[in-house]
Every structure is written in C-alpha cells, then in structure tokens.
Amino acid sequence: MLTAGSSFRNIKGEFGELSTGFPGVLSPCLPGFERPGFCARILSVPRIKTAAPAKLNLHLRVGDRRPDGFHDIESLFLALDFGDTVLVETVAGDATEVRMDWRLPEGAGLPPEKNIVTRAVSLFRGRTGYGGGLRVTVEKRIPLGGGLGGGSSDAAATLLALNRLARPGGLLDPGILAEMGAELGSDVPFFVGVVAAGLAAAWVSGRGDLVSPVALPGGFRDLSLLLVCPGFHSDTAAAFRALDGHRLATPPGARTPGRGVSPDKIPGFLAGRPGDWPFSNDFLPVFAGRGEFYGDWLAYERIISCLKTLGADFAGLSGSGSTCFGVFSRKNMAKSAKKLLSKRWPYIFEAFACTGDDVVLE
C-alpha cells in the first residue's frame, strides 16, 4: 500500500511503470462524501504510468437485441500481457490534454476530444469534483477495430489512474469505478473490476456489465496466444446490425445451437486441452452469409485455417473481429507460425495471459 510522504519510487510492470510521490493538497468536498464538519483531504500523485491490456473473447454468444438497444452476451474474457500504456500526469492549470501516441503504422483514429479516454476523465471529474490540470498520454499498440478492447482498456486504465491520483490507495470503491465504466462502454467493467484485482479471466454477461472472475488453472499462462490482425477494422455496430438481420432471416430452429458452455463448466474446460474446448463465436456464421462482410469472413477463415494447420490447438475470432487468434500449447510452434504468418498478414502478436504484476498499480 502506498502512503503519504513516501519518496518517489518506480513499480515496473509488463508495459510500464508507476512513479509515485505524494504531496498533500486540500480538495473541495466531493459529491457523495459531504457531511457536516467533514471535507475529504486528498493526496495527489504527480504521475501514474500503467498498463491497458488487450483482451480476447475465447468464447462469445450473443443474445437478441434488448429494448435498450444493447444485446445480452455470454462471453469468456481473457486479459493479455500485450496492450497499450496510459500515462496520467498532473500539470498546471485546470485543463485536460489527451495525447494519442501511435505505435502502429495505422495511426489514424478519433480526435482526442471524442476519444473514450477524454470521456473517462470528464466522467471522473464530474463524479468526484476532482480538479487540476491533467495530461493523459496513451501509447497505442492495440489495433483499432480489432475486437481486442483497446479503447475500453484505455478508459479503464485512465479511471484507475485518476482514482489513485486523487488519493493513494484509491478514492472510490472499485465497484463504483466499474459502474462508471459501464457508462463509457460495455467492456470497461471487465478491465476495471477483474484486471485491476490482479486476475486475468472472467465470465461476462448482461450487456457486459456482469463480471464474474474465473481462476486460471495451473499451467494456463504457459499457453502461447498468437494474435493475427488482417489489417482492416471491424465496425462493431455494423456487425451487430448484421447479426440482427441474419437472425430475422433465419428460422429459430435453424440457428446454431448452444454448445453447453456455461460458467460452472468453464474451470473444467480451461483445465483440459485447448483442442477439446467447445468455445465458439456467434459472429462467424453471420459474416459467412452477409455480402458486406463476406470478404472479411474469407480472411478470417483463411487465418483460422492457417493457425490450425501451423499447430494451434484452438483458433477463433475475438469479439466481432477483426483479430483472429490461435492457442498453442507448444511455444516453438507458435513462434514458427508467427514467422510464417507475418509474411502475409500485417499485424502478428504473440501474447500470454496477464498476471497480477502486469496490471496492478500497488
């Protein structure tokens, strides 16, 4: 636990480091903390640099469209030791500056003022009354539109960093941060709640806001996870519209049946051989029958087929695309596959399941 008066120190993780030092400052009372004679004393941290890990959907089933416009999902999320880095610094003044430092050739994206990170800062300020100038720098490594949760992870890392900037050990309860995260995006509660607790996997349901941690069995982190991004973005909203259209045109009895994947069975599946996993992704059969996605589907089919041919015990699609992945129990085969696939596809990353040291700030 970090305490006031500590000298500066660096805590290094997979993606970056946390630099800490705590000069005390008196803050205005925060919403939800007011009571007569009480005012929170907040200790500020000059800068926090932390990981924003990518995630894979090892399994993804999508329910029908809900009245609120969202879809219920049932998904097994896995956080990776590959991802972005978020640096939050206190600066003079009271403005917020967001910088996107692209580490990939495709560097275009939303302007900072429309970025989910900017929204995360505004939400935190509005909820807590946290003032003062901030500079947020995001080193982007996660491909855009790749189904890896990059924006959601950046937003979660920003909320967690701000929470510790406001007070060592955290100003708000993790549950409150997760609720705030759900206002920003469906995947954000996973990164806030589970990854911040030093875990890597969770069964995620509802619209993405119901998160149940899953303990990984021994040896799981020895599995090599090869990520293959074909170089195009997947539009999540368009993918869900295609799914809805596909289901309207498909008789209920002809839909792909469930394969017996439920949260109580997940630990047993993960303890077994990846080649025996019954996991699937509801978007793949949708893309196969939709003209606007047919080219994407052909790319996914080729990549998944190549991964299996090159030794992957299991291969699939993450989220609504566009990143495919292979799970290798033999690391030498993963490295060989990476070398061969990199000749054809632009973005190939080898990763492993996250460990607590990768993401925990304290």
Q: pTM of the predicted model, to two decimals?
A: 0.84
Q: Are 232 and 293 in contact (CB under 8 A)?
A: no
Q: What is the largest CA-CA distance in the chain?
A: 69
CA dihedral 69, 155, 174, 25 (to 10 degrees): -140
Q: What is the pLDDT of residue 346?
A: 87
* Rounded-to-integer distance, Cα 41 and Cα 28, Å: 8
Residue 82, pLDDT > 80, answer yes
Looking at domain 220-351, its CATH architecture is 2-Layer Sandwich (3.30)
At residue 299's C-alpha, the angle toward residues 326 and 259, to 5°, is 55
The secondary structure of 20-62, three-state, reads ECCCEEECCCCCCCCECCECCEEECCCEEEEEEEEEEEEEEEE
> Percentage of the chain surpassing pLDDT 70?
80
CATH hierarchy code of domain 9-215: 3.30.230.10
* Rounded-to-integer distance, Cα 324 and Cα 316, Å: 6
* Rounded-to-integer distance, Cα 117 and Cα 61, Å: 28
35's CB contacts (< 8 A; 6+ apart) are none
Render pLDDT for 178-225 as a digit per residue (tens, 0 to 9). Answer: 999 999 999 999 999 887 788 899 999 999 999 999 999 999 999 999
Render pLDDT for 25-71 as a digit per residue (tens, 0 to 9). Answer: 223 333 333 333 323 333 455 889 989 999 999 999 999 888 888 89
Give the residue range(s) of CATH 3.30.230.10 domains in the chain.
Answer: 9-215
Q: What is the pLDDT of residue 36?
A: 31
Indicate which residues carry an active-site annotation: 55, 187
Render pLDDT for 119-158 as a digit per residue (tens, 0 to 9). Answer: 999 999 999 999 999 999 999 999 989 999 999 999 999 9
With CA atoms as reference, report the closest residue to 38 among 26, 23, 24, 51. 26
* Rounded-to-integer distance, Cα 89 and Cα 107, Å: 23
Give the residue range(s) of CATH 3.30.70.890 domains in the chain.
Answer: 220-351
Residue 178 corresponds to which tokens in the numbers above?
């997760």
Residue 239, pLDDT > 90, answer yes
